[in-house]
């Protein structure tokens, strides 16, 4: 009944799904998605943050837009890109998780990038309990614009680049829980090493803002801590 005629449209449907898969098929694009998962950004800011030529970044963003993964907003002369929805962040996070679990190269690359890590980590639940108990300082070491776009309520914002200079802003006797973008972000790893080297007690949240938000935990925007 349906065969030659349909096999064309069947392929069309799978190819349409594959168009979304293709958007996930480049390391550069995944890096852009990772940045966008922290909040909206202009093309120029994305290109700089990802270390890309502006033209190249724009091309990748067009690809992501074709797949419907990102949306844009014009503000005067610049264009802000953002994720098209939480489901996109979810897909991104799941891709990383599945890749980590099933592809041997990922844990290897992860260790090479983040450092093989025996250091203690804190889970969501532990952190929430300790925030309630009041015996912890939560430190967000991402760039300020990402902190402004959304952070853990009560967290202090000190970008890792400024941490050496501003370490005095942290109380000396309280343990610090550090977080950054997500499970594979280097910022919190660097910060914990830095704080520990300065004799502070510091541990990393076991993942970061991406997973926190996807777990529907409370998020605050703006500067009001």
Site string for a copy of itself, 126-165 (x = CB under 8 A): ----------------------------------------
Residues forming beta bridges with residue 140, ordered by sequence position: 157, 179
> At its nearest, how many Å lie between a copy of itself and the CB of residue 116?
13
For DNA, which is the closer residue by CB, 55 or 174? 55
Applying CB under 7 A, which part among 59-67, 105-113, 190-198, 207-215 lies near DNA? 59-67
Question: Is 223 one of the binding residues for a copy of itself (CB under 8 A)?
Answer: no
H helix runs in the chain, sequence order: 4-23, 27-36, 43-50, 54-66, 86-102, 105-114, 124-133, 144-149, 163-166, 187-197, 209-214
For DNA, the binding residue among 22, 82, 130, 193 (CB under 7 A) is: 22
Question: Which one of a copy of itself, DNA, none interacts with residue 85, CB within 5 to 8 A by kind?
Answer: a copy of itself
For a copy of itself, the binding residue among 13, 120, 221, 225 (CB under 8 A) is: 13
> At its nearest, how many Å lie between DNA and the CB of residue 32?
10
Distance of alpha carbon 29 from alpha carbon 135, whole angstroms: 39
Burial class (CB within 10 angstroms; exposed 0-12, middle 13-18, buried 19+) of 8: exposed
**Which of 177, 176, 183 shows the shortest CA–CA distance to 210?**
183
> At its nearest, how many Å lie between a copy of itself and the CB of residue 219?
22
DSSP, collapsed to helix, strand or coil, labels residue 8 as helix
Question: Is 110 one of the binding residues for DNA (CB under 7 A)?
Answer: no
Question: Is 53 one of the binding residues for a copy of itself (CB under 8 A)?
Answer: no
Distance of alpha carbon 46 from alpha carbon 28, whole angstroms: 11
State which H helix or E strand residue 78 sits in: strand 78-83
In degrees rounded to 5, what are phi and psi of residue 186? -85, -20
Listing DSSP states for 205-222 in one string gives ESS-HHHHHHTT---B-S
Binding residues for DNA, total number by CB under 7 A: 24
Catalytic entry in 64, 83, 180, 185: 180
> At its nearest, how many Å lie between DNA and the CB of residue 153?
30
**Active-site annotation holds for 180:** yes
Question: Which one of a copy of itself, DNA, none interacts with residue 223, CB within 5 to 8 A by kind?
Answer: none
Distance of alpha carbon 225 from alpha carbon 158, whole angstroms: 12
For a copy of itself, which is the closer residue by CB, 128 or 196? 196
Residues forming beta bridges with residue 80, ordered by sequence position: 42, 73
Q: Which residues bind a copy of itself (CB under 8 A)?
A: 1-2, 6-7, 9-31, 34, 51, 66-69, 84-85, 87-88, 90-91, 94-99, 101-106, 108-110, 112-113, 184, 186, 190
Which residues are designated catalytic? 180
């Amino acid at each position: 009944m349906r065969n030659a005629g349909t096999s064309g449209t069947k392929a069309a449907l799978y190819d349409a799904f594959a168009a979304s898969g293709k958007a996930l098929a480049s390391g550069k694009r995944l890096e852009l998605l990772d940045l966008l998962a922290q909040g909206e950004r202009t093309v120029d800011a994305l290109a700089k943050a990802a270390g890309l030529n502006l033209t190249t970044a724009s091309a990748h963003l067009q690809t992501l837009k074709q797949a419907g993964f990102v949306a844009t907003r014009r503000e005067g002369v610049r264009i802000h890109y953002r994720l098209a929805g939480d489901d996109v962040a979810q897909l991104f996070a799941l891709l990383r998780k599945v890749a980590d679990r099933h592809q041997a190269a990922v844990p290897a690359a992860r260790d090479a990038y983040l450092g093989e890590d025996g250091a203690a980590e804190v889970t969501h639940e532990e952190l929430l309990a300790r925030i309630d108990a009041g015996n912890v300082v939560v430190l967000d070491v991402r760039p300020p614009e990402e902190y402004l776009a959304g952070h853990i309520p009560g967290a202090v914002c000190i970008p890792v680049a400024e941490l050496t200079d501003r370490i005095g802003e942290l109380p000396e006797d309280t343990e610090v829980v550090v977080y950054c973008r997500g499970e594979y972000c280097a910022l919190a790893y660097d910060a914990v090493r830095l704080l520990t080297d300065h004799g502070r007690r510091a541990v990393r949240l076991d993942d970061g803002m991406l997973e926190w938000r996807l777990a529907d935990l409370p998020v605050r925007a703006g500067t009001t801590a």
